[in-house]
Structure 1
Amino acid sequence: MLHFRMNMPFYLMAFYGSVMIAAVLLLRALLKNKLPKFVFPALWGVVLLRLLVPFSLSSPLSLPVPAGLTGLSESMAIHEDEMTWVAEDLPQTQSGTAGAEATGGDGTARTWASESPDIPGTDNDTAVAEEGVMEGSSGYVMDTGTSFLPRSFFPGNNSLGSDSLRNALPALYLLGLAAVAGILAWQKITYAKRLKGGLLMEHNETVNGLLRDMGMGHVLVFSNDEIASPLACGLIGPRICLPTRMDFGNAVLLRHVLAHEAMHIRRRDNWVKAVMLAAVVLHWYNPLVWLMAKCLASDLEAACDAAVLKKYDTDQRKSYAYSLLAMAVSASRSSLLYSAFSKTEVERRVKGILAFRKASAFALLLSVLLLAGGTVASATGGQAPFSHALTSYCASSGSRWGVKVEITRDIALGQRPQKRAEDAVFSVLDADASQDPDIIREAVQAALAREFGVERSAFDVSVSLCLDAETVDAQYAEWGIECLDNGFLRYQGEQVRIYRDEMLGSYQSREDGGVDIAVRRNRLGEVTAVDAWHAGDDEYDRRTKELERHGSRY
């Protein structure tokens, strides 16, 4: 299922376009002499499409938006040693819920959510925005999108520099854009004035006859003493301009020159260059775009030569190469503006002409694959930022697992997608008898794929252990862990200093205690071992020194 939108942010157009430019440059360096000459102008056209058109097409092949480009604070992971901050008025939760505990000023244990989703049972108003019983189910959903951590907690908020710099960037961009557009416009106007002095060669039967033979009899040809080499110019009414120094009595030279310039017009290369200039103006700050423009101008000339040479035999190709050498000059004019002869790469072009061979079947097949791949990369290689959230945290009394679902790409899911998705999740949780998180994850993905008619990989299903306090207490009791009335734990009669249950997402610490413990569970959520480090053990002493090094933060 495809989802098309015209909402690609400019910075992502520039990012994906730059990636594509780098890819085409690499292919060009490796395969330029092994593929038909039309391939690379076509690939550059795909790049121009990505640079200029803000389309966002989501498909199963779409690449995710790079985390660094969607907002630094959103992509930051909250490390465990940063989670020691806690508000004094944060309400206490029941034992066994996902969270981390710290010692409050009154000596009681306090808990807050960490990297695991909020687990049913908490009364934290800042984390729970919605709770409702699903019809026909004993489960409930919880909105976990709100965090009590203040925005200033995330250093990423200030990593982009000062507000004044951020405010100045748009002005600097527009200033650069205006400067580049002005320079190109000045070059265009200056050269256009020089071309106005040309004389129409309407009575030259040799020129007119050659153009009619090429099927380009409607193209006007001018002679001009202000130019040094032939060129094709104009978009709406394209024309060919020839220098007056040219030997018009040399029919072979004239044929080659007209064939080359007429081919530029037939292939609409001046339109391609106009689009290329638009990309250069919009992305003036990007050196890759300027390099692309230079390579595209060169590739257009090579493709034009190749299109002409298809009709020539070996001797005619050599003659065509001599014609190029005869007309090439060291012109100061920018080749970005017009399709024209230039001495800049004439040696390379002549070598390519002399080595010209018709493309083999393998080269044509490879060309088709490259063009298809480039088109797919442009169409589906990127998508605009979107909200990944689909469901709230869903938990059922009939399952020890809770489920939360996000979408991996931008897709249209119809009306009431959250309600429909949560219904599908609860249908799986209520019917599941395996208590296996992998089976639950696959079943939820399959149910959502059927519900919304998209591929399974469009859904990222998070399955986390969700146990009520009584179940947790019973499990811990079997391993000698006792939960006290004040929320702290005791292990085999000793006061616990630091406690961790990774799968459950539960943590606790206090300043005193004689043992540190870590509860280990298997993939089904069953407790399999308790690791304990007692006072006097090397590991316990190492952990103590680590805490002291961090300022005794628990």
Structure 2
Amino acid sequence: MLSLLEMSVTGGILIAVIVIARALGINKLPKKAFLVLWAVALCRLILPFSLPSPASVYSVAEQAGVTVRRPGVLLSQAAPAGGQGGAEVPAALIVWGAVALLFAALFLIVHLRARRNYRVSLPVEDPFVAGWLEQHRLRRPVQVRYSDQTTAPFTYGVLWPVILLPKSMDRSDETRLGFILSHEMAHIRRFDAFWKWVLAAVLCLHWFNPLVWVMYVLANRDLELSCDESVLRESGRDARAPYALTLVGLEEKRTHFMPLASSFSKNALEERITAIMKIKKTTIAGIAAALALVVAVTTVFATNAAPKSTGGIPAPSPSASVSPSPSPSAAPGGPLAKVPGGVAEIKDRPGPVVTNGTGEGGDDNYPTAYTKAQYDLVISTLKFEGYEKMSIAEFNRKINAAFNSDGYWDEGGVGRAYETVMMFLESTDPNAPFLLNTVQASQDEYNARTEEVYSDKRVDPDFRGTAEVYREDDIYGDTVRRQIATANYTFTYRILDQDKLTVEARDQFLQNVMQGAQDYLNGKTPGELLDDKDGEAHFKTALEAAGKAAATSYIEFTGCEVDYYDAFDSYW
């Protein structure tokens, strides 16, 4: 799910586009078009997902995806499984929540104070008003009342709406009164009181985003402009001047701020008068232009990029492997040796592979090694200071942003450097756990979540591991390794709380699962492994048990597959 900050940023971009479109077309297009656009912006700000579109502006920033995947690195010492304990609530979350509640309380206090004035109002008993209501009947019962506690007409209530008039208002001017009732009835028909509540709620959630404040002000203005337009469509263009005079007279008397009620008179009077005097007849061309604007803005700015397939150089097969050199002190017929580093290396490739050259060449122009400059670029770009304590949400966003940076695939860019380093990185390299575990897992988590949003189906990230055991023997002083069993596997998991799960805890979960797989093989004698006809099934059961034991309240193990398993007696 998208975080609140992500929703606010993308929603803010959409609001900025709507503001520009509004400035250019507010007096040229039907006002309803802008109400529809504000509704789209509200959805973008409150819905933690979005629909994919090939035409989305975010397509240009779509990440290329993981093109080289390697098994994870099992550290020599894995800490016991367990949860993180009582994680503290981030201070930023506390501040956000406190301010959001403060704004919500202010809105409610203003509204509840106004409600006390509503209760002392009395029904308007006027033949003209009664006849007007009869001609404009709705399914919801509408009341017209008056009160000496208000100075300007307004509407409140959603299911049982009330048009409240000032007691001092001269109701003998039926033309003027008809304008007022028509305007307020337009609010009622469109459920504007409800939309004002939604706008206020979104403002409370996104109080830190100045563009949301802009949306709140302009959307409220457009509710009034649209009602003005509705009245004049009904009354005719000849009513523009008297309607504008009615508006001016009521604005002069308004004294109260009512953020959750639909008021006849609002701020930005000059904008309203200008819009009234420039109102035009509705034409097919105008409707088509408004529809095109709504569709274009929604498609380009309110959607996410459509997923695209990832290509690139395939990862080396983990089954073709040798392990680091064994210790010469291993005794003949000794116990099974745990593989140092826990991950197989790519067979028959040069090492060390750090060069001072370009790192390019070889068959099909594929690189044959990585340079020190490429290695340093990858580490300096991706290894953020204090990353271990970052939440998964923050770290994965940073990793994704790094790979979406300008010049990703340019010559000398971090994309090419990363691909090359990943192809030839030694598992004994000090940064191998970071690149092969931390970064690979974060990339897959981001991609899995993206695919889940696009497909509306659950997609769990997966992680690959390798477990191997050897027996070391001495032949006239030469140490030989006899490979007994090897297993390549993939397991899936689910992040339950992306904001509380830290990178350190996620990596520990991965370590605990890999350690459990390795421990299963280490705990068997060569004979037991070689004679076990159901070795693959037993290994999978052990892997599942390790995954469930490694789960915490923030991350869970969801399944596994054994990609390759074999127990055999051979020498290397």
Partner of 1:338: 261
Distance in 1 (alpha carbons) for counterparts of 2:43 and 2:275? 28
Partner of 1:322: 245
Partner of 2:40: 46
Partner of 2:131: 209
Partner of 1:144: 70
Q: Which amino acid aligns with 2:19?
A: L
Match of 2:367 among 500, 504, 511: 504
Q: Which amino acid aligns with 1:253?
A: R
* Further displaced range: 340-349 or 19-28: 340-349
The number of residues matched between the two structures is 328
Q: Which amino acid aligns with 1:459?
A: S
Partner of 1:240: 163
The answer to whether the Cα contact below 8 Å between 1:37 and 1:299 also exists between their aligned partners in 2 is yes
Distance in 1 (alpha carbons) for counterparts of 2:75 and 2:252? 67
Unaligned stretches of 5+ in structure 1?
1-6, 76-114, 118-142, 151-162, 383-407, 410-457, 469-484, 490-495, 510-519, 521-554
Match of 1:281 among 196, 200, 204: 204
Distance in 1 (alpha carbons) for counterparts of 2:105 and 2:157? 19
The answer to whether the Cα contact below 8 Å between 2:221 and 2:266 also exists between their aligned partners in 1 is no
Tell me how far 1:234 sits from its aligned partner: 0.6
Whether 1:268 aligns to 2:191 is yes
Match of 2:91 among 168, 171, 174: 168
Match of 1:29 among 20, 23, 26: 23
Whether 1:373 aligns to 2:296 is yes
In the TM superposition, what whole-angstrom CA distance separates every residue of 1:349-376 from its partner, at most 9, and x where no partner exists? 1222122111333221111112223443
Whether 1:305 aligns to 2:228 is yes
Distance in 2 (alpha carbons) for counterparts of 1:486 and 1:379? 49
Change over 3 Å in CA distance of 1:189–1:507 after alignment to 2: closer
Change over 3 Å in CA distance of 1:506–1:178 after alignment to 2: same
Tell me how far 1:378 sits from its aligned partner: 6.5
Whether 1:463 aligns to 2:313 is yes
In the TM superposition, what whole-angstrom CA distance separates every residue of 1:294-342 from its partner, at most 9, and x where no partner exists? 0001001000111111122332222212211222236443353211133
Q: Which amino acid aligns with 1:187?
A: V
Distance in 1 (alpha carbons) for counterparts of 2:205 and 2:152? 30
Q: What TM-score do the two structures reach when normalised by structure 2?
A: 0.52
The answer to whether the Cα contact below 8 Å between 1:464 and 1:504 also exists between their aligned partners in 2 is no
Partner of 1:362: 285
Where 2:90 maps in the other structure, the secondary structure is: helix
Identity between Structure 1 and Structure 2 (%): 29
The answer to whether the Cα contact below 8 Å between 2:154 and 2:164 also exists between their aligned partners in 1 is yes
Tell me how far 1:177 sits from its aligned partner: 0.8
Distance in 2 (alpha carbons) for counterparts of 1:371 and 1:486? 58
Distance in 1 (alpha carbons) for counterparts of 2:42 and 2:238? 37
Change over 3 Å in CA distance of 1:334–1:320 after alignment to 2: same
* Further displaced range: 225-234 or 312-321: 312-321
Distance in 2 (alpha carbons) for counterparts of 1:326 and 1:486? 87
Change over 3 Å in CA distance of 1:499–1:488 after alignment to 2: farther
The answer to whether the Cα contact below 8 Å between 1:329 and 1:341 also exists between their aligned partners in 2 is no
Distance in 2 (alpha carbons) for counterparts of 1:367 and 1:487? 64
Distance in 1 (alpha carbons) for counterparts of 2:233 and 2:42? 27
Change over 3 Å in CA distance of 1:146–1:67 after alignment to 2: farther
Distance in 1 (alpha carbons) for counterparts of 2:162 and 2:261? 11
The answer to whether the Cα contact below 8 Å between 1:216 and 1:262 also exists between their aligned partners in 2 is no
Where 2:356 maps in the other structure, the secondary structure is: strand
Q: Which amino acid aligns with 1:305?
A: D
Tell me how far 1:487 sits from its aligned partner: 6.4
More helix by share: 2
Distance in 2 (alpha carbons) for counterparts of 1:497 and 1:213? 87
Partner of 1:110: none
* Further displaced range: 25-34 or 239-248: 25-34
Change over 3 Å in CA distance of 1:282–1:507 after alignment to 2: closer
Partner of 1:226: 149
Q: Which amino acid aligns with 1:498?
A: N
Distance in 2 (alpha carbons) for counterparts of 1:26 and 1:326? 31
Tell me how far 1:183 sits from its aligned partner: 0.7
Whether 1:189 aligns to 2:112 is yes
Tell me how far 1:283 sits from its aligned partner: 0.9
Partner of 2:557: none
Distance in 1 (alpha carbons) for counterparts of 2:355 and 2:49? 56
Change over 3 Å in CA distance of 1:377–1:9 after alignment to 2: farther
Where 1:297 maps in the other structure, the secondary structure is: helix
Q: Which amino acid aligns with 2:312?
A: S
Change over 3 Å in CA distance of 1:63–1:32 after alignment to 2: closer
Distance in 2 (alpha carbons) for counterparts of 1:497 and 1:377? 45
Q: Which amino acid aligns with 1:144?
A: R
Change over 3 Å in CA distance of 1:253–1:149 after alignment to 2: farther
Tell me how far 1:204 sits from its aligned partner: 1.6
Q: Which amino acid aligns with 1:24?
A: I
Distance in 2 (alpha carbons) for counterparts of 1:263 and 1:488? 76
Change over 3 Å in CA distance of 1:30–1:147 after alignment to 2: farther
Partner of 1:536: none
Distance in 1 (alpha carbons) for counterparts of 2:155 and 2:60? 43
Unaligned stretches of 5+ in structure 2?
77-86, 321-348, 361-365, 373-410, 412-572
Change over 3 Å in CA distance of 1:280–1:504 after alignment to 2: same
